[in-house]
């Protein structure tokens, strides 16, 4: 069965549109040892609404929160904009749409808050929220995955199962899905962005001059 990485629906859309190139992971409370492990190098992107909050997405990208509801199917209609703005969470949909997959182009671990801030052009969350991902379980490093995303020809709707819910990174999709799609960014665009991301992380890892 195909494997998918769970991310906020608004993040999945940003990855599928080339507006985000990395994801930051520490691991969920329902994972072994409560820490993230990179178990797969290619996977589909599973949109979730667990803990997704209007106020944890940077202001310029907050309009996408409403559009990201297209990633779910609710039996009684999608949540309202008021619910999205005031509530920390929204009800889970019955089904979600899979529209992209990703390949891991590079994998880093970081421990420095300044590096998280320097990487902010490559994610749509607020810097404060990204730093909270770093601070949670502080003794463990933050994993940075540089992702090359691909849009599949047609979105596929899958049912949300009990084993998909909760704070976990990986889930299995109960239907066949081929890894066929169009790269979100051209080779040249992706290489330029990758070089910048790697430069930020290398600089953070370099010893300070005295």
Name the helix (H) or strand (E) containing 59: none
Q: Is the pLDDT assigned to residue 16 strictly greater than 90?
A: yes
Range list of β-strands (E), the chain? 3-8, 22-25, 42-48, 72-73, 95-110, 142-159, 170-172, 182-183
- The mean pLDDT value of the chain amounts to 87
What are the residue ranges spanned by the domains of the chain? 3-205
How do residues 149-176 score in pLDDT, each as one tens digit? Answer: 999 999 999 999 877 777 778 989 888 8
Q: What is the pLDDT of residue 33?
A: 62
Q: What is the pLDDT of residue 85?
A: 76
Q: Are 160 and 94 in contact (CB under 8 A)?
A: yes
Q: Please indicate whether residue 77 or residue 151 has the higher confidence score (pLDDT).
A: 151
Q: What is the pLDDT of residue 162?
A: 77
The three-class DSSP label of residue 162 is helix
Average pLDDT over residues 118-143: 88
Class of domain 3-205: mainly beta
């Amino acid at each position: 069965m195909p494997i998918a990485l769970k991310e906020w629906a608004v993040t999945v859309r940003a990855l599928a549109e080339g507006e985000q190139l990395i994801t930051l992971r520490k691991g969920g409370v329902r994972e072994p040892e409560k820490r993230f492990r990179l178990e797969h190098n290619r996977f589909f992107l599973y949109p979730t609404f667990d803990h997704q909050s209007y106020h944890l997405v940077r202001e310029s990208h907050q309009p996408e929160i409403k559009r990201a509801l297209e990633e779910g199917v609710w039996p009684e209609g999608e949540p309202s904009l008021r619910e999205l703005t005031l509530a920390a969470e929204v009800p889970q949909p019955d089904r979600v749409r899979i529209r992209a997959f990703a390949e891991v182009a590079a994998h880093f671990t970081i421990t420095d808050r300044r590096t998280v801030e320097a990487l902010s052009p490559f994610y749509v969350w607020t810097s404060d929220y990204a730093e909270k991902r770093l601070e949670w379980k502080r003794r463990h490093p933050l994993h940075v995955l540089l992702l090359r995303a691909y849009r599949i020809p047609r979105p596929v709707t899958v049912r949300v199962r009990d084993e998909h819910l909760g704070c976990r990174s990986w889930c299995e999709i109960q239907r066949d899905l081929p890894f066929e799609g169009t790269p979100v960014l051209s080779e040249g665009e992706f290489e330029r962005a990758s070089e910048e991301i790697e430069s930020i992380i290398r600089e953070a890892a370099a010893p300070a001059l005295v």
